[in-house]
């Protein structure tokens, strides 16, 4: 377990943080045997992650599949019970809350999912989907809304996400992917949250629709003063939407900086390779680019590692990289990197 027991913030910088994640680990047991399950190993999906999100900003979390970005979001939302670490939301540790406290905290912390087809109940009308959070919180006495008020709220939520209020009695299958994602966003907004955890919200959409949803999310951020944790594998989308960006590799954050700095002067060799691998939709620019082609695949996250997680694929590895784990260290103001090219073990 992490040190301390999650009380209030300690210094000025942290005080402005809406969410503060420290030492977050999420390991999943690997079991064997049909009847008597035996734990034979651990998948280290998230293996020690620290970051904070300031009020009103968008933090982009980017990485390739299996790097732990979705698990991080789910652990923050307490959909998983983290193996270790602290998740301070407005200064209170979500991991140590009882059920009742968590329910009222979750009101301020909502999720948007990748697949709008799978995340909407096909048997519920759009109106029921969007109003369900309001009804649950009213039923439990955490909100006081009459039926009529819930109805009005639902309609204005549909307005806010650009859907006609006549859609309340329609079912999800009657909508396109982009419209379904708007329904998912309306549902996330229903409780007037402070933080939205958006897990690949535009990856399943075509480009022309993706632009609509990205613009909508930005408009809503301004209108409602939202804070976003925006998870995506698409680095161009992340650059477009984020103030700051964290790059994950194999369960850890390898680099975090403001969006402009990270894209214009990346430090970690993995970030550099990742950025160079993204094709740019411009044939003239493409011809002049040099690609860093990484050797091999991402290793399996089931082993305890003694060195830098990236060292076996890294072209710039040094001797110390195999035996020492580089900590995420601030090497320039606001720019943290976990790499021995910038400091010694």
Partner 1 sequence: MENEVILEVRDIKTWFSTDDGIVKAVDGISFDLRKGETLGLVGESGSGKSVTNLSIMRLIPSPPGRIMAGDIRFHDRSVLSMSVKELRAMRGGSISMIFQDPMTSLNPFLRISTQLVETIRLHQGLDKARARDMAVEMLRMVGIPKPEKRVDAYPHQFSGGMRQRVMIAMALSCRPEVLIADEPTTALDVTIQAQIIEIIKDLSAKLGTAVILITHDLGVVSGMCQRLCVMYAGRIVERGRTDALFADPRHPYTQGLIRSVPRLDRDARERLFSIPGTPPSLINMPECCPFHPRCSRAMDVCRSRYPAETDFGGGHRASCWMYAEGGARG
Give bridge partners of residue 42 from the DSSP assignment: 29
Q: CB 236 → partner 1: shortest distance, Å?
A: 4
DSSP 94: G
46: which residues sit within 8 A by CB, 6+ positions away?
24, 25, 26, 68, 71, 72, 75, 82, 251
| Choice from 273, 308, 337, 339 touching partner 1 (CB under 8 A) | 273
Query: How many beta carbons lie within 10 A of that of residue 171, not counting itself?
Result: 16
Q: CB 256 → partner 1: shortest distance, Å?
A: 18
Q: Is 118 in the site for partner 1 (CB under 8 A)?
A: no
Where does the chain have alpha helices with state H?
A: 12-15, 69-76, 99-106, 126-139, 147-160, 177-189, 207-224, 235-241, 259-264, 269-277, 283-288
Q: CB 106 → partner 1: shortest distance, Å?
A: 30
Query: How many beta carbons lie within 10 A of that of residue 324, not counting itself?
Result: 16
Question: Taking CB under 8 A as the criterion, which residues in 158-217 touch partner 1?
Answer: 176, 178-179, 206-212, 214-215
φ, ψ of residue 205 to 5 degrees: the values are -105, 150
Interface segment toward partner 1; rule CB under 8 A; list 16-24, 93-101, 125-133, 282-290: 282-290
Place of tokens 């209020």: 165
Q: CB 147 → partner 1: shortest distance, Å?
A: 33
Q: CB 213 → partner 1: shortest distance, Å?
A: 9
Compute the distance between CA of residue 71 and CA of residue 45 in angstroms, rounded to an integer.
Answer: 7
Angle at 169 between CA 189 and CA 205, to 5 degrees: 55
Q: CB 277 → partner 1: shortest distance, Å?
A: 4
Q: Is 263 in the site for partner 1 (CB under 8 A)?
A: yes
Compute the distance between CA of residue 241 and CA of residue 218 in angstroms, rounded to an integer.
Answer: 8
Question: Taking CB under 8 A as the criterion, which residues in 291-320 touch partner 1?
Answer: 291, 293-294, 297-298
- The answer to whether the beta carbons of residues 163 and 156 sit under 8 Å apart is no
Q: Of 62 and 191, which CB lies nearer to partner 1 in the complex structure?
A: 62
Interface segment toward partner 1; rule CB under 8 A; list 30-38, 40-48, 148-156, 270-278: 270-278
Question: Taking CB under 8 A as the criterion, which residues in 215-254 touch partner 1?
Answer: 215, 218, 233-237, 239-241
Contact code string over 44-83 relative to partner 1, x by CB under 8 A = --------------------xx------------------
Could you tell me where the beta strands, DSSP code E, fall in 179-328? 195-199, 227-232, 244-249, 252-258
Q: Is 281 in the site for partner 1 (CB under 8 A)?
A: yes
Q: Of 87 and 186, which CB lies nearer to partner 1 in the complex structure?
A: 186
Q: CB 65 → partner 1: shortest distance, Å?
A: 6
How many residues interact with partner 1 (rule CB under 8 A)? Answer: 46
DSSP strand pairing (109-112 vs 195-199)? parallel
Q: Which of 199, 254, 256, 204 is CA-nearest to residue 231? A: 199
- The answer to whether the beta carbons of residues 116 and 183 sit under 8 Å apart is yes
Q: Is 261 in the site for partner 1 (CB under 8 A)?
A: no
Residues lying near partner 1 in the complex (CB under 8 A) are found at 64-65, 176, 178-179, 206-212, 214-215, 218, 233-237, 239-241, 259-260, 263, 273-287, 291, 293-294, 297-298
């Amino acid at each position: 377990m992490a040190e301390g027991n999650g009380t209030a913030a300690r210094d000025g910088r942290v005080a402005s943080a809406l969410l503060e994640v420290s030492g977050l680990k999420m390991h999943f047991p690997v079991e064997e045997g049909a009847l008597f399950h035996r734990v034979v190993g651990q998948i280290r999906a998230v293996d020690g992650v620290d970051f904070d999100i300031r009020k009103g900003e968008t933090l982009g979390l980017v990485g390739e599949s299996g790097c732990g970005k979705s698990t991080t979001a789910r652990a923050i939302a307490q959909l998983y019970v983290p193996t270790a670490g602290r998740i301070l939301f407005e200064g209170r540790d979500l991991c140590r809350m009882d059920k009742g406290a968590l329910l009222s905290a979750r009101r301020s912390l909502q999720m948007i999912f990748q697949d709008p087809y799978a995340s909407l109940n096909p048997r519920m009308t759009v109106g029921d989907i969007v109003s369900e959070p309001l009804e649950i919180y009213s039923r439990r006495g955490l909100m006081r809304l009459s039926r009529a008020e819930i109805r009005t709220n639902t309609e204005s939520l549909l307005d806010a996400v650009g859907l006609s209020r006549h859609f309340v009695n329609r079912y999800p299958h009657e909508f396109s992917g982009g419209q379904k994602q708007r329904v998912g966003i309306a549902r996330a907004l229903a409780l007037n949250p402070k933080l939205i955890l958006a897990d690949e919200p535009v990856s399943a959409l075509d480009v022309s629709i993706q632009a609509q949803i990205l613009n909508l999310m930005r408009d809503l951020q301004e209108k409602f003063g939202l804070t976003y944790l925006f998870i995506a594998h698409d680095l161009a989308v992340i650059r477009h939407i984020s103030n700051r960006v964290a790059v994950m590799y194999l369960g850890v954050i390898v680099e975090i900086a403001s969006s402009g700095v990270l894209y214009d002067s990346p430090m970690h060799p993995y970030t550099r390779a990742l950025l160079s691998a993204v094709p740019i939709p411009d044939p003239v620019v493409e011809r002049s680019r040099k690609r860093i082609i990484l050797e091999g695949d991402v290793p399996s996250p089931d082993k305890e590692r003694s060195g830098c997680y990236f060292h076996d694929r890294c072209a710039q590895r040094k001797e110390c990289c195999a035996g020492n784990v580089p900590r995420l260290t601030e090497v320039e103001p606001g720019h943290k990197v976990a790499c021995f090219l910038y400091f010694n073990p």
